[in-house]
Amino acid sequence: MQSTYLSRRLFGCTRISFIAAALFFGTLGLAGAAGAQEQPSPQRRIPESPGMAEHAAMPTSLRELVQEAEQKNPQIAASFHAWQAARNVLKQVSALPETQLSVQQFSVGSPRPFAGYSNSDFAYIGFGASQDIPYPGKRQLRAHVAEHEADSMEGQTESVRRAVVGNLKMVYFRLAYIQQTLGVLQKSDMLLTQVQEATEARYRVGQGNQQDVLKAQLQYTKILQEIAHHHQEEGLLEAQIKQVLGRPQESSNIVAETLTLRALPYTAADLSQKAREQNPDVRSKQASIRQQETQVELAHKNFRPDFNVQYNYEHTGSQARDYYMATFGIRLPNRGRQKAELAEAQENQERARQELDAESQRVLSEVQQQYVRAKTSEERLKIYSDGLVPQSEATFQSALSAYQSNRQDFESLLSGFLDVLNLDLEYRSELVEHESALAELERLTGVDLP
């Protein structure tokens, strides 16, 4: 087997049952014909990993895993709590500054408390309250700034959710490929074992040569190596999925569903428009622009003075009257500092605009790339299913028939078998490329493809 084909990419879908059956019955015929003269050696079997025994169990759908990840993934939860925390900033910045209460005691003639209280008009105990009042409109603008920041955080939360779900889909597709092609490789191994026994039987009766036997043994060993590699990849991928889901690593194994081809009902223009409207990263940048625009307006408003009001009540001894005092103060802003604050806000506003433009261009470029990737992959899948795969099957059946009648050498038969196997794996790999592109388009545009 050409190992470079088998190890090129770990992706795929299902398709080898027909040709596997053809090879199985064909090689049985070969083994039976040769066994009439000499019984073949006992068939060697591959030890199955513990995970393979569970592949016959009920598979877990991708939709179920996505729902579990949305509920239990710690990244999504952390981002959600950050958004909720940002929402509580609005009430903080829109509230009046804290009211200050004070108690005063004034002694006369001695530092002792209440000294002179009974014989002096100046000794008193007083109670007061003080309140800062921002210039009208400032609190409302601060609330708008906090509100837009919370909107930006909401977009970031949605972006994190989509990123986690997108990563889960990619790993799930790879796991589906590994588990499905692992079964294909095991079937191929059993078939090659029978082919190897047939060539050994032919060699013993003088109808074959030692080179055919060695080639069959080499191919058998290569498949053993590839199966071991698949077992390793399966374990690694399951560990990644359990991490995303927040499951314990010692929990039961995950069995993926068989991948099927999904259609893309949208045009490139439709997807671009949905990305502009629904992409969370773009929405987050748009909220940042609104935040910075409000911040500029607030910086202009900060040139206006703030106010302070105070009221004090002073109680003296019984021989004197009480005192009442009201104070109104104005806090004048430092214009030099406020000019610098305004300049900072304007620069941040321009920065936010440029970031939005850059993010929009990035998202639209990715949408176009994934659209081209999906459409091209769809065309390749049609070539595989309508051309390459059936042609390779027909070629192999012809070589098998010729080999049975001793009109074809073993190398041609083995080459035909490898073509069928490699094209099957390439078809599966291309199917995952297609589904991965659709998953990326779902992440970028927010559409849910059936």
Q: Which of 196-200, 213-217, 252-256, 288-292 has the lowest mean pLDDT?
A: 196-200
Q: Which helix (H) or strand (E) holds 319?
A: none
How does pLDDT run across 100-139, given as a tens digit for each residue? Answer: 999 998 888 888 888 877 777 788 889 999 999 999 999 9
Contacts of 210 (CB under 8 A, 6+ apart): 203
**Does residue 406 register a pLDDT over 80?**
no
Contacts of 211 (CB under 8 A, 6+ apart): none
**Does residue 432 register a pLDDT over 90?**
yes
Q: Exposure of 377 by Cβ count < 10 A (0-12 exposed, 13-18 middle, 19+ buried)?
A: buried
Neighbouring C-beta atoms of residue 29, cutoff 10 Å:
12
**Does residue 55 register a pLDDT over 80?**
no
CA distance 242 to 247: 5
| Terminal Cα-to-Cα distance of the chain (whole angstroms) | 37
**Per-residue model confidence (pLDDT) at position 241:** 95
**H and E: helices and strands count for the chain:** 12, 4
Crossing angle between the packed helical segments 62-72 and 210-245, to the nearest 10 degrees? 40
**Does residue 320 register a pLDDT over 90?**
no
Q: Exposure of 328 by Cβ count < 10 A (0-12 exposed, 13-18 middle, 19+ buried)?
A: exposed
Question: For the chain, what percent of residues have pLDDT higher than 70?
Answer: 84
Neighbouring C-beta atoms of residue 219, cutoff 10 Å:
21
**Per-residue model confidence (pLDDT) at position 22:** 37
| 327: three-class secondary structure by DSSP | strand
Neighbouring C-beta atoms of residue 286, cutoff 10 Å:
20
Contacts of 304 (CB under 8 A, 6+ apart): 135, 138, 333
The predicted model scores a pTM of 0.77
- CB crowding 227-236: b at 16 or more within 10 Å, else e: bebbbebbee
**Per-residue model confidence (pLDDT) at position 353:** 96
Tokens read off for 246: 């927040």
437, 243 in Cβ contact below 8 A?
Answer: no
Strands, sheet with 100-106, edge to edge from the N-terminal-most edge strand:
100-106, 124-133, 306-316, 323-331
The half-sphere exposure of 313 on its side-chain side, counting CA atoms within 13 A, is 4
Range of 51-65, 74-88, 408-422 with top mean pLDDT: 74-88
Tokens read off for 34: 């040769």
Binned at pLDDT 50, 70 and 90, residue 383 comes out as very high
**Per-residue model confidence (pLDDT) at position 194:** 64
**Per-residue model confidence (pLDDT) at position 26:** 40
Crossing angle between the packed helical segments 335-383 and 268-278, to the nearest 10 degrees? 150
